[in-house]
Amino acid sequence: MGWTDSHCHIRLATTDGRATDEDAVAEARAAGVDRLVTVGTDAAQSAAAIEVARGHEGVWATVGLHPHDAIQGVDSLTGLFDDPTVVAVGECGLDYHYDHSPKDVQRAAFGAQIALAHERGLALVIHTREAWADTWGILAAEGVPARTVFHCFTGGPDEARRCLDLGACLSFSGIVTFKGAPEVREAAALCPSDRLMVETDSPFLAPVPHRGQPNRPAWVTVVGTAIATLRGETVAEVERATSATAGHLFGLPQ
């Protein structure tokens, strides 16, 4: 088993016309990335993720309503969860940095999507930014799904321990390579290997030395290599551990 990019947006990464879905997947394969989870952020992007997953072996989709798009309503996702390529609800959660959707609307949409994960027995992919207290409060009220991940983890050791105590996994992006993110590196260092995942969040957050460029799933290897260094582990150990964790969380073939 090679690397698993546990969170990318393949169709968003190819909308500039310089690459295709096939290019992104083929480049990832050539880099040793065998499995990709392409993530929905609203009804249109969730449908696009499903289309990409249907067309490529080793690619799975999620269906979700990002907090920025919460104003669209969770009902807009109706019917999309029935596709067999769908392995998770999300990304969903709270983002108080921009408030593109009102906070009360974000909270309601997040709670509804947690309920959907419970109802359908799917994993839950959480996006939280500057909203830890409310995120934990809603999870306490709704119950944490058995398979939950905090994607693109941006907290420090204290937030990491709180999430781990809930039984969740932590997924780390290229932020671990950023000079100004020592607290994220501390969180990645303390995370148990069976709760650790890696992602690109492509086309966003390209890791050093590619910062400033559109990110791509192939570069999850850069993220994994950086985590191996800070944990004092071999790259192969991190590759195996993070892929096993992703496989379990999303219910992927082993």
Give the tens place of pLDDT for each residue, 17-43: 567 899 999 999 999 999 999 999 999
pLDDT value of residue 180: 96
Report the SS3 class of residue 58: coil
Give yes or no for residue 4 having a pLDDT over 80: yes
Give yes or no for residue 195 having a pLDDT over 90: yes
Q: Would the CA dihedral through 111, 116, 119, 124 be positive or negative?
A: negative
Give the tens place of pLDDT for each residue, 47-88: 999 999 999 999 999 999 999 999 999 999 999 999 999 999
pLDDT value of residue 236: 98
Give yes or no for residue 46 having a pLDDT over 90: yes
Distance, CA of 237 to CA of 245 (rounded, Å): 12
pLDDT value of residue 15: 60
pLDDT value of residue 17: 59
Indicate the pTM of the whole model.
0.96
Tokens representing residue 246 in the block: 């992703």
Distance, CA of 53 to CA of 38 (rounded, Å): 7
**Which position has the token pair 């071999």?**
234
pLDDT value of residue 16: 60
Give the tens place of pLDDT for each residue, 120-142: 999 999 999 999 999 999 999 99
Query: What count of Cα atoms within 13 Å lies in the side-chain half-sphere of residue 166?
Result: 25
